[in-house]
Structure 1
Amino acid sequence: MGRTSGFAAVLLVFCLSRLAPADEPASNPPAGPQQAQQAVDRAIGYLQSESAAWWNTRGCAACHHLPMPLWALSEAERQGYAIDEQFVAETTESLLGSRDALMASKLFPNPADPPDPRPQGRGLNMGLPFLAVAARSMPSTGEGQEQSLKLIAEEIVKKQQPDGSWEFFATLRRPPINESQVTDAAWIIMALQGETGPDAPRSHREALSRAIAWFDAATSSDLHQEKVLRLLVAIRSGKPRDTMQTATEELLALQRDDGGWSQTVPESKSDAFATGQTLYVLSLAGFGAERPEIKRAMDFLVATQLPDGSWPMISRSSPDGSPGSSKLLTPITCAASSWATLGLARLAPKRPQDCSLPATSP
């Protein structure tokens, strides 16, 4: 009897191991449009409460806690989702409503302060381009906000180097928000694009041209975010879709078995930052929710969302390559939840999508 029971136990373990190998991720349950929309609604609640708490307690307009959520909330509203419009309006005004508000956000230099003697004092505060990109996603901006955006553009142009780039300090790298000189340049270019219309100063238009020339000539890396942001810049620059085919195919080839994407390959697991970012940009490139690859990525995000509306994240490695050890995970969690919201809101809208952007499979 004992030998029979032992044999049955061994057989059961063998069968289970064949059914669910340890190296293969479990497939995520399929999520319909309604479940994806519910995920966005939960994420909106998280982003609003987390951003408000950060701003009220820290008074710092960090990229991950204010510009990114404001962009995500604006996109969600455009796609038919209910957001706290008063919170978005008041927060935007508190950041951009005037020159004093911009300086109080700790992003724009106060001329009354002594010069920053540190090397990074020569560089650009990357919160400025993040804030400019977020502001241009809003339905409208007030006079004071427009003036602040002009100040941001002037600061960007002022800090540009002769070769068209901006200084990047590897020792201060904070991946994934500030990951490389190229990813920073992508955000700066997108910010300048919003401020260089026909009436923009010639210096601004020339700065943008130099920046794009440097960006296009910069050696490509294996960073996932760089691949995504290069595609996003191309889309926002109005490049023909057929010129982006190689880039989109490369991103699709990097999708993991669980449906998600990872920030680094092959060390880390799929996460909401890379997955949401990739989904959002692919949606702009013309991929719709009916594509199998897109559907699997949406299933991944719906399945991995936490009850509070956020997505789980881990600390990224430090610049010297040592494992991440940050005990404060709210910054990367808030940024990742913003990207996940951007991607899901576009692909599971509550109203017909904006016809000015492609929404169907190429």
Structure 2
Amino acid sequence: MALTMFALSSLLLTLSLGALPETQPTTAQVRETVQRSIPFIEEKGLWWIEEKKCVTCHRVGNMIWSLQAAKQSGFTVSERLAEWRQWSIDKSLANNDKGKITGLGNKEGVVQILLSLDQADNNPEQKEARHKLAAILLEEQRPDGSWKAGGQLPFQKRPAAETDAVSTMWLTLALLVEGKNEASTPAITRAMKYIEASSPGKSVEWYAVRLLLAVQTGDSDVRDQLVKQLRSQQHADGGWGWMITDDSDALGTGLALYALVSAGVDRIDPAIKGAQQFLVSTQRDDGAWPVRGTKEKRKASVQETAVYWGTTWAVIGLVESLPE
């Protein structure tokens, strides 16, 4: 399969990385780091809701997912979280000023909302909301099984084909988590054929979401290979860059941390503890992490959107990697 193309390069990278940090954060330090970030996530996310009234800007979905994950692990979050989550659902399902369903322009954000929802919640209204959100994801699939990345994602500093592949993997993952049905099964089948034929990416996100898909589909061979490859991409400081060749940042590290734990890597594994240490030691005083832009034209400097994405993913990764 296409993944084997990177086997040798992954081995060489592993040999060049050196040892991971010996310092390991305590559980208390990790929890303090997460709690410190929550006000930043809430304040900046709420601004997009109240001032921009925008659910298609790849912000609110990250906000809802990270805060919901934190709440489920016992962290203190705003009592308005349920209100914000419902706003994001209603806004995604409503028509925009052009008469189209708003969520069609931000399927990746719809994915984040879906993955934040409790699949075991049998409340009829919540089940209906999940069904309608999943239906949005089925729209506009291309004949080859892929979906075009939404919004400004095609302008990212990785090949456009990879960005489309990553979006396709996220959409497929959400559809699988929601559960196959008569409408989604053909779309998932087409998407998986496209994904399996796709070339390995240049971003850590490609490997992270591909690993999450392998876990969801029960493909243990692909899962094990991707775990090895993600391990090989980890830097000596314990982190990952969003692009494999980037310096470590919270965006790449949070994604990799979440994917590895989801794949069953032990929470006391050196790779997990190294990632936690990187995030604990690099957090800013305001609770966020500095992340350079993901767009090609803004990749040289720290950018607000990348900071927000990185901070929400750092929280998701740290929360999911806490001791059970």
After superposing the two structures, state which structure 1 stretch, 25-34 or 66-75, moved more.
Answer: 25-34
The residue number in structure 2 matching 1:254 is 233
SS at 1:333 equivalent:
helix
Show CA shifts across 1:89-136 (max 9, x none).
Answer: 001111224xxx4355xxxx54x73679xxxxx977433333322335
- Compared CA separation, residues 255 and 326, structure 1 to 2 (3 A): closer
For residue 336 of structure 1, the aligned residue among 306, 310, 317 is 310
The residue number in structure 2 matching 1:50 is 44
Q: CA deviation at 1:276?
A: 0.9
- 1:96 and 2:89 aligned: yes
For residue 313 of structure 1, the aligned residue among 278, 286, 291 is 291
- 1:41 and 2:35 aligned: yes
Unaligned runs of 5+ in 1: 1-23, 117-121, 354-362
- 1:226 and 2:206 aligned: yes
Q: CA deviation at 1:338?
A: 1.1
Aligned partner letter, 2:315:
T
The residue number in structure 2 matching 1:264 is 243
Aligned partner letter, 2:167:
D
- 1:324 and 2:299 aligned: yes
The residue number in structure 2 matching 1:15 is none
- Compared CA separation, residues 310 and 326, structure 1 to 2 (3 A): same
What TM-score results when the alignment is normalised by the length of structure 1?
A: 0.73
- 1:185 and 2:168 aligned: yes
SS at 2:183 equivalent:
helix
1:26 & 1:347 partners in 2: Cα distance? 17
What TM-score results when the alignment is normalised by the length of structure 2?
A: 0.81
1:26 & 1:129 partners in 2: Cα distance? 33
Aligned partner letter, 1:162:
P
Q: CA deviation at 1:325?
A: 6.8
Matching of residues 1-362 of structure 1 within 5 Å:
30-62=24-56, 64-84=58-78, 86-97=79-90, 101-104=91-94, 109-110=95-96, 113=98, 125-136=107-118, 140=121, 143-168=124-149, 173-175=154-156, 180-197=163-180, 200=181, 202-240=182-220, 242-266=221-245, 268-318=246-296, 322-324=297-299, 329-349=303-323, 353=324
Name the one with the larger helix percent. 2
1:304 & 1:141 partners in 2: Cα distance? 40
Show CA shifts across 1:23-54 (max 9, x none).
Answer: x9996854211111100111222212221122
- Compared CA separation, residues 142 and 55, structure 1 to 2 (3 A): farther
- Compared CA separation, residues 311 and 323, structure 1 to 2 (3 A): closer
Residue identity (%): 25
Aligned partner letter, 2:54:
C
- Compared CA separation, residues 124 and 154, structure 1 to 2 (3 A): same
Aligned-pair Cα RMSD in Å: 3.3
Unaligned runs of 5+ in 2: 1-17
Aligned partner letter, 2:308:
C
Q: CA deviation at 1:168?
A: 4.4
- Is the contact made by 1:96 and 1:145 (CA closer than 8 Å) also made in structure 2? no
SS at 1:162 equivalent:
coil
Q: CA deviation at 1:62?
A: 4.0
SS at 1:158 equivalent:
coil
Equivalent residue pairs, number: 304
